[in-house]
Amino acid sequence: MTALASYMINVDEWLQCCVSRESDKQPKFLRPTDSGKLGTWLQERLDNMTDSAGFRRHALIKDYPDGSPNDFYKMSETLGQGAFGVVQKAYLKDCPGIARAIKNVRKKPDDPHFNQELRWETFILRMLDHPNICRIHEVFETTDTMYLVMEFIEGRELFYEIIENLKQNKTDETRYAAIMRLVFGALQYLHDHEVIHRDVKAENVMVCDTAAKDCNPNVKLIDFGSSVITQSHRTYQCSYIYGSPQYMAPEAQKGRYSTASDMWSAGVILFVMFAGYFPASCKCTEKLPCLSEEIRGLINGLLVKDPQHRTSAKQVLQHRWLVGSASTTRSKQHSSDFRKAMQSLDEFYRCNKLQRAALTTLASQLSSQEMDAFREQFQRIDTDCNGVITKDELIEALEVDPPVGVDFLHAWVDMIFGELDSDNSGSLDFTEYTAALLTAFPGASEEVVRAAFRIMDTNDDGTISLEELERVLNMTHEELLCTMVGADLNGDGVIDFEEFQTMLSSTNCFCTSNPLAAVAA
């Protein structure tokens, strides 16, 4: 698009503008006065989130209410720094091949509202399970600091990719469409779960390094420090403005936030991708004749001043420009791998509940790159890109490529959902789907197995006791006793690492060498 250059501002000035925004001290956002009530509601919501094994999802995130990550992690270089904290790369001391990003935020002794905001961020992150949303692993808290141990993402901010393309006066529409489809998919997932991000911007979208980064990019939405839960999809009113001004919707500049506010911000990202500057009005695309009617129509639908008439995430994902990118991605999938993945679902449900819980924990410890093949399989079925697989989506995928030995497809899918969908949500989440695929695509190194064992060993004594299983599994005492008998090989009443490893190896997910070998193809 050679005409693009005539509409560009100085890229270095834009870069400086965005960097300076990060250091600006924004007015603090005040949560509702009924903080205790909201916190109780969130905790109850977390407690009710279990998978097919009765495994409580929030048990995947380990808590240290009075501890420091220095006891378990070796700190490395600084990855970023903002107004309230620092993000450092760190490695597990017992598993030095496993990297994490640790966000350190200093508490304010004289500001309990600010300290409560930090805890809300962890509450919200515990609820989320989406391939394009950054995962949380652990939370440490000392008297003066909160530490959020997050997924370490190999890649760079979308901001820098846009800058690079603008400087070279080039635009890759196919790649941008693939990236933005994933961003909108993550937003639909958030909005379906009544979460407003409130700081959607190019700097908060990480573009991951992948083997097929050009034709099938992967992204992660990050930084949920300003996120809120609406509880009923209503507008969220607050006393202070929070966010990055250039990305903020008109109503957000007056302290009124909704899911539509996130969509405006995403529209700004899309506009800047092609224009090289921030939109000055709702009719800004009229100055960009170089854009196709498809892209211009999409941007115009997002940058509508009235939030009631702004395009939603679900509507955006049905747009022709984005649907075309999804078709291109799915056409590149391998049928043999897909059939193998579908057959692994049956193997997964033949495992006992403890094995399923262990596999789910194992899946949660895989790196973003190790999960790439699983993500591609998941997104092949998740045709609407909202981060969950429905029964209809699974049937549609299987009708095109049915698994070997399945004669009654609908009955088989009913059985799968009957086992898995324990909360009757009508959908399968990403981590458990990945856990199921581990039985067919072995890819867990011994370090990843150790990291998974450490999560289930809640008191860090080197064994998993019946009491610890009771905290993470929603099962009766009698069911737990029966389940534990098969794993406790020496009969000492606890599961040690060797027994845990043996239990996982019987599911064919354990691989002592080259953990990426099985997913490289």
As annotated, the active-site residues are: 199
Q: Which spans in 129-229 are helix H? A: 158-167, 173-192
Interatomic CA distance for residues 36 and 145, integer angstroms: 21
By DSSP bridging, strand 463-465 and strand 73-81 are unpaired
Of 434, 188, 156, 462, the closest CA to residue 319 belongs to 188
Of 158, 239, 247, the closest CA to residue 197 belongs to 247
E strands, 31-126, where? 62-64, 73-81, 85-92, 99-106
Terminal Cα-to-Cα distance of the chain (whole angstroms): 35
Kindly report the three-state secondary structure assignment for every residue of 369-404: CCCHHHHHHHHHHCCCCCCCEEHHHHHHHHHHCCCC
* 3-state SS class at 77: strand
Specify the DSSP element, H or E, that contains 145: strand 145-151
Strand partners, 205: 221
* 3-state SS class at 235: coil
* 3-state SS class at 437: helix
Interatomic CA distance for residues 275 and 268, integer angstroms: 10
Interatomic CA distance for residues 341 and 50, integer angstroms: 23
Burial of 32 (0-12, 13-18, 19+ CB in 10 A): exposed
Please, are residues 316 and 304 in contact by the beta-carbon 8 Å criterion?
A: no
Of 91, 92, 69, 39, the closest CA to residue 140 belongs to 69
Q: Give residue 137's Cα distance to chain centre.
A: 12
* 3-state SS class at 315: helix
Which residue has tokens 């509450």?
123
Strand partners, 102: 88, 149
The helix, strand and coil proportions of the chain, stated in percent and rounded to the nearest 5, come to 50, 15, 35
* 3-state SS class at 495: strand
Q: How much is the CA Rg of the chain, to the nearest whole Å?
A: 23
